[in-house]
Amino acid sequence: MDIGIFTAVTDEQIRPAQLARVIEERGFESLFVTEHTHIPARRETPHPELGEIPRDYYRNLDPFVSLTAAATATTRLRVGTAVALVVQRDPLLLAKEAASLDLVSEGRFELGVGAGWLREEMRNHGTDPATRMALMRERLAAVKALWTTEEAEFHGRFVDFDPVFQWPKPVQRPYPPVWIGGWGPTTFRRIIAGRDGWLTPPLPVDQLIQGLDELAEEADRAGVATPPVTVPLMDPDEATLERLRARGVRRALFGLLTITDADATLRALDQLGPLARAGGSVKQPTT
């Protein structure tokens, strides 16, 4: 099981290139970052787990800018979104940005996607919260068409364009790994139909195991192999890692709080390092 880092990259912490270098130096496999384009000043939607929206949500850098800096500062670190808010992104631009990043990183990019939860934010992008799941499905399908077809076209309810040419194509074939955020039977069926992976919510391990069982059951009904799984863990421990590894989880992402002091960030990574090496494929820090 691979072990990576999951964090928000903001203007108040060490820059993404430096962050990526120290993560790679400590042997972690990947860096996944969050996205919010903005936080509406007037809103009624609370955070689904925390109620109040944390400070780092207000100050996210654009994930593709952060990950480009991270990719050019490292040589083996895989870089990804957790998650890119597809319902707030034009699919033609998203396909271009993701393929360009895959090229710049020499095939180290992974696209985690979600429909989002902050209704006021998505409305400011012209997205109706009631149809966001259908919109995400169409936009992601359009992105895949642009990645895999020389002369791509798409005609749907929300996305519609006649034949177009778009380069670059992704380095990874047929395209970078795609991880679908969400939970439940409809999410699992979409993952299986799209041949994607599951990016779980950061939940207690018993709930995660339940979700892994449900995903495996859906895959069995469809007659296909169980999709790969990436699990964010905000409070990891050896017992949780062992249970997830025994269930065949592909990757665990250790949550790294946004810390404004660079030395404190390094200390936090150093504290996570031994647990990561005990629980996965993390290498010894480079010297």
Residue 277: the pLDDT is 84
Residue 287: the pLDDT is 44
Residue ranges of the domains in the chain?
Answer: 2-279
Alpha helices in the chain (DSSP H): 16-25, 55-58, 63-72, 91-104, 119-124, 132-148, 185-194, 205-222, 238-246, 262-279
Does 3.20.20.30 match the CATH number of domain 2-279? Answer: yes
d(CA 145, CA 142): 5
Enclosing H/E stretch for 6 = strand 2-7
pLDDT by position in tens, the chain (length 287): 999 999 999 999 999 999 999 999 999 999 999 999 999 999 888 887 777 889 999 999 999 999 999 999 999 999 999 999 999 999 999 999 999 999 999 999 999 999 999 999 999 999 999 999 999 999 999 999 999 999 999 999 999 999 999 999 999 999 999 999 999 899 999 999 999 999 999 999 999 999 999 999 999 999 999 999 999 999 999 999 999 999 999 999 999 988 888 899 999 999 999 998 876 655 555 54
Which is nearest to 251 in space by CA: 99, 101, 86, 28?
28
Sorted by sequence, the CB contacts under 8 Å of residue 197 that are 6+ apart come out as 177, 178, 179, 180, 191, 227, 228, 229, 230, 250
Residue with tokens 């992974």: 110
Which token pair is 120? Answer: 């006021």
